[in-house]
Amino acid sequence: MLHTVAITLKIPDNIAFSALSALRRLGVQVERVERADIWQFAGPASGDDVAASVKRNESLFNPNKHALELRESPKPQTGEAWVSTVAATYAVAPGASAAAVHHVGWRLFGKDGMPVAPATLKEAIEKLLCNPAIERAIT
Amino acid sequence: MALRPEELRRIAHGLGREPTTVELYAFDAQWSEHCSYKSSRQLLKQLPTTGPNVVLGPGEDAGILHLGEHNGERYGVVIAHESHNHPSQVVPFEGAATGVGGIVRDVLCMGAEVIALADCLRFGNVDDPQSHQRYVARQVVDGIAAYGNAIGVPNIAGDVYFDEGFNDNCLVNVIALGLVKESEIIHSRAPERSAGWDIVLVGKATDASGFGGASFSSLTLEEDNQEANKSAVQVPDPFLKNVIMRASYRVFEYLRKKKITAGFKDLGAGGIMGCTAELCAAGSYGAIIDLDEVNVSVENLPAEVLAVGETQERLCWVLPGHATADVLRIYNEEFSLPEIARGARATVIGAVQEEKRYVMRRGGEIVMDVPIDFLTGAISNEPTHREPSRATPSSSRNAHEPGGLAQVLGARNGCSREPLYKEYDAVVRGTTVIPRGHADAGVIAPVAGAAFGVALSVGGSVAEAARKVVAVGGRPAGLTDCLNFGNPNNEVHFAQLAGAVATLSEDASTLELPFVSGNVSLYNESSSGTAIPSSPIIGCIGVLDNVSKVVSPALKHPNSPLYFIGTRGAGPALKTENQRIAALLDAIDGGLILSARAIGSDGILAAAAEMAFAARNDFGVEFNDEVMPETRYHGWLIEAAEAATFEDFASRRLSREDWRRTGVTTVADIGGEVDIVSAGRSWDLDELHGAWSTRLAELYA
Amino acid sequence: MAVLIFPGTNSEAETVRICRDVGLDAESVHWSQGASLPRYDAYVLPGGFAYEDRIRAGAISAHDPMMDYVIEAAEKNKLVLGICNGAQILLEAGLVPGTGAVRRPTAAFTRNAPSGKFICKHVHIKLCADPARCAITAALPDAAVIPAWAAHGEGRLAATPEHLDEITSGGYLAFVYAHSDGTVDDAAVPNGSALRCAGLTNKKGNVLAIMPHPERDAWNFNHPDIADRKAILAPSGGATLFRAFAKALA
């Protein structure tokens, strides 16, 4: 069973704020950016158990500033790209099990408040969100 | 809340009514040990705080010592010292990082450029890979690195020790140094004739983080309350701090040019309330604060959270009205705070008032209105009937583990700290002369074009810290202390604190060194009532008139003689220490000393081994029969350039009893058999180095 | 010459100081003064954590309006040096190695291996290209060895195998890590960098990106044990690179 956990900031997300400014400067039609740390865990445990264990892992989750969501789908949502580092040769996080996969999830929204179209998302990935020398993006 | 019933009664009596919610939280913060030093104030009065070098003694956010003159300007070195023990135990990365952030603000608000950092750490037993202690030990170091590296201040000194006594309560003490022209010091008080001036809040948008921090740090940690305690820990933003620091440097320049005297103070314990009340009370004024003007990142924060919450990266100015617009422009436009971090900015939140009352408004209503001196004035919790114990506080170190030199150097408390400090940027700013870990003290040359330097060392006693500064050629100029102890309401712990202060006071007086800054961290114990080992942590600031005279510990020449200068036996004999310090500094000035090291609790052989390591094991050291490895040596191991010259010099400066030649001689062994030899035993230096250099690597991999 | 200050830059003081000490007319240019950039002859991007390394190190800065001017200047053959975070920005801006389109990076200085952690370590870098290949290094002797401090969490060169081949075959590799005697091996590399790379140039050789900081070992006092004690404030060691830069502009 593959469980997908999304961790977002409850405090202002300055990274998403800067990404939005840069994307708009680059002419990408986007009005809002949401960023999440996406963790995927394979194993027999239930989703709730996985979520609970992430909440106990202090290097992944700090209740003071993070919110946690157990995603139903193991794939990016519409308007969302998951960017991950290719062939990381270092531990992803202290205490994270070797089976965990980490992505940064970027979800882009347009003027109408709806997730952006695939072409816009692709443009954002190519222009800013992914450096193909070291990263790959899935949508 | 940490207020005690009798304190609650005193508040109601003083106000003539029951306090409002905001007032209650304000007194809780302001009367906490953290802000008021209510248990320790009388004790701390014993410490010497004056001297010819002192530009500014304790009392403001940081102390200042005279450093040197260059191009007709007198420069001072600013010193601040803080603990962030409780937050680092609960949320180690953020707790330690915000500790660095806080101490940097204390230096910055004196009108100074921040030039160096140091950190003193005590962790629990880290043997168990799954233990929380181990997690704390790793995350604290990562947190300090993340913050210090990003703001661009070199970390030049520090220490770390491990002891089971810190399992439930780690220690994270941080020291920051600043550089200021003595004519341009900014004080943490509303200036004279400042009634009606603007109170300007600068920095991160206020949120709910760090609510209850001041009283949290004055409580003992309870296991089942960890979740709630986490919200008392602030969220660090070193990037924003980097920009705020540089913007503030620009504001200093502006105020100088316009010849404006302003007040500047950082927001620490007690948040907006604590900072603005102390700023205005220090100038014998009151204040009116409008909480609706505070820039926030969370809507509908309760008034008490706005008032005393300890959101990080904030400072406060008291400015004359005609300067306010320019200062706001520097922060908000030139350094574009609002574009860099959401909600960050500089904003007018209130005014200084003649009437000595501290007033806060929210939504048109008055939520706090108290006599300002009652809020910030002295309260006392001095326990009575104490016989201060004169015993030296127990050290947390393993001085002599069984099995000799290899075990001492390979022990977690005796080995190289490089695996830890290599995460810290020790050379940013380009001013570093001796980086962290390369000698007993770090040294920087902070003023471009000036030859003088600052040395900084840390230790568990005044003598140890001073000796380390002398070992690099620094003239000890002043001290800073952080007293980490258990609950002062416990008689035994209070007696330990009292004994430690008495010892510090006596030692500092003997060495004629003033304390110019300091901090007290009490209540360091777990809910089971186990207190930490008593841990006074001392920093010593040394001045080098010319950094060309700096001395490193690396052995320099084959066959040059090594000497011990100091005393032997159980306790250090400090009465004659000033004479030895003066003689050693004279010898260094005369170019007679090639390398030197202060001998620590690990002993004279370990000191020699580390001098050999610093020279990449190119030399060995053969001790003569007079040296008893198990004897305590209090002093220095030094390599002299020439035996005859040095002995002639020393015999004129020091009494015969005062220094005793050990006859230690370095030998170079070209064949590669480079050893430490003593009392019929020998240790291969490469093997010693292997154990010494790798012991902490598994922890900080 | 302009020394660019982005929000989060932290090495501007030592960078400006060494440039001036070797005779370069260096001024720091702050991000709110970017419009003044076209009037300079050369540009230095110093170290730090510009824009907090948001998204990736150098990613936001590469799109900062200041970089519009730098990219334009590089196209006009003006000289550009990036150090540490400045080097990361030049790679993200696609100026170095410059084998793709502008602002489409083909390589990155990314997280150190194997530790994944920040490392502060004294190192040496060795010129491995013909000195004349890059204008800034033209006045250096062949195979010059320069002392510097590595102080970074993300200094490991990484790229696809094809792009790494292109870096090698196209002569983009300017500096490798070395020991003080000039020998080159893996033990001299502090961060797992591909090709043992410490510095890269572009096709025209007018842009140089180096990870370690020669400006932090650039005066005698930075070297307490070997310094000429009479001239403690004189430039030395890492200053060599900046002297060569000054000659290129003379």
- Reported as a single tens digit per residue, the pLDDT across B117-170 is 999 999 999 999 888 899 999 999 999 999 999 999 999 999 999 999 999 999
Residue A91 pLDDT > 60 = no
- Report the first-to-last Cα separation within chain A, whole angstroms: 21
Report the pLDDT value the prediction gives residue C42, as an integer from 0 to 100. 98
CA distance B314 to chain A (A): 16
Higher pLDDT, residue A102 or A43: A102
Which residues of chain C are within 8 Å of residue A108 when distances are taken between CB atoms? Answer: none
Using CA atoms in the order B283, B287, B293, B298, what is the torsion angle rounded to 10 degrees? 90
Report the pLDDT value the prediction gives residue B396, as an integer from 0 to 100. 36
Locate tokens 């008080």: which residue?
Answer: B189
pLDDT confidence tier of residue B219, bands split at 50, 70 and 90:
low
Q: Is C143 on the interface with A (CB under 8 A)?
A: no
Which residues of chain B are within 8 Å of residue C14 when distances are taken between CB atoms? Answer: 428-431
Q: Is B233 on the interface with A (CB under 8 A)?
A: yes
pLDDT, tens digit, for every residue of A1-36?
A: 889 999 999 888 999 999 999 999 999 999 999 999
Mean model confidence pLDDT for chain B = 89
The mean pLDDT of B277-303, rounded to a whole number, is 94
Report which of B158, B137, B90 is spatially closest to residue B699, judged by C-alpha positions: B137
Nearest CB neighbour to B427, from listed C120, C229, C233? C120
Report the pLDDT value the prediction gives residue B186, as an integer from 0 to 100. 97
CA distance C17 to chain A (A): 31
Residues 439-468, chain B, touching C (beta carbon < 8 A): 443, 445, 448-449, 451, 453
Locate tokens 């005014």: which residue?
Answer: B351
Residue B533 gets which letter from DSSP?
A: P
Task: Give the C-alpha separation, B219 to B214, whole Å.
Answer: 9
Q: Are A48 and A2 in contact (CB under 8 A)?
A: no
pLDDT confidence tier of residue B661, bands split at 50, 70 and 90:
low
Which residues of chain B are within 8 Å of residue A94 when distances are taken between CB atoms? Answer: 135, 138-139
Q: Is C159 on the interface with A (CB under 8 A)?
A: yes
Residues 123-162, chain B, touching A (beta carbon < 8 A): 135, 138-139
Task: Give the C-alpha separation, A88 to B576, whole Å.
Answer: 59
Residue B584 pLDDT > 60 = yes
Report the pLDDT value the prediction gives residue A94, as an integer from 0 to 100. 39
Buried b (16+ CB within 10 A) or exposed e, C54-75: bbbbbbbbbbbebbebbbebbe
Nearest CB neighbour to B235, from listed A11, A21, A59? A11
A7 Cβ partners below 8 Å, 6+ apart?
A: A36, A37, A39, A54, A60, A61, A66, A67, A68, A69
Catalytic residue among C84, C128, C134, C197: C84
pLDDT confidence tier of residue C227, bands split at 50, 70 and 90:
low
Q: Is A44 on the interface with B (CB under 8 A)?
A: no
Task: Give the C-alpha separation, B62 to B104, whole Å.
Answer: 10
Task: Give the C-alpha separation, B378 to B373, whole Å.
Answer: 9
Higher pLDDT, residue C179 or B677: C179
Q: Percent of chain C at pLDDT above 90?
A: 94
Task: Give the C-alpha separation, B53 to B44, whole Å.
Answer: 20
Nearest CB neighbour to B235, from listed A17, A59, A64? A64
Joined tokens for residue C172: 């983009």
Tell if the CB–CB gap between C151 and B425 is shorter than 8 Å.
yes
pLDDT, tens digit, for every residue of B389-424?
A: 444 444 433 334 345 888 999 999 999 999 999 999
Task: Give the C-alpha separation, B698 to B560, whole Å.
Answer: 37
Q: Give me the amino acid identity at B100.
A: V
Q: Percent of chain A at pLDDT above 90?
A: 65
| Residue from C61, C63, C66, C160 to probe the interface with A (highest A Cβ count within 10 Å) | C63
Which residues of chain C are within 8 Å of residue A22 when distances are taken between CB atoms? Answer: 55, 59-60, 63
Q: Give me the amino acid identity at C204.
A: K
Task: Give the C-alpha separation, B206 to B193, whole Å.
Answer: 30
Q: Is C118 on the interface with A (CB under 8 A)?
A: no
Which residues of chain C are within 8 Å of residue B154 when distances are taken between CB atoms? Answer: none
Using CA atoms in the order B175, B179, B183, B185, what is the torsion angle rounded to 10 degrees? -40
The ipTM (two decimal places) reads 0.96
Query: What number of helices (H) and strands (E) belong to chain B?
Result: 23, 26
The mean pLDDT of B261-269, rounded to a whole number, is 94
Task: Give the C-alpha separation, C118 to B373, whole Å.
Answer: 47
Q: Which chains have at least 3 CB atom pairs separated by less than 8 Å from chain B?
A: A, C
Locate tokens 């400042």: which residue?
Answer: B194
The mean pLDDT of A100-119, rounded to a whole number, is 95
Annotated catalytic residue C213: yes
**What pTM, to 2 d.p., does this model score?**
0.94
Q: What are phi and psi of A138, to 5 degrees?
A: -120, 150
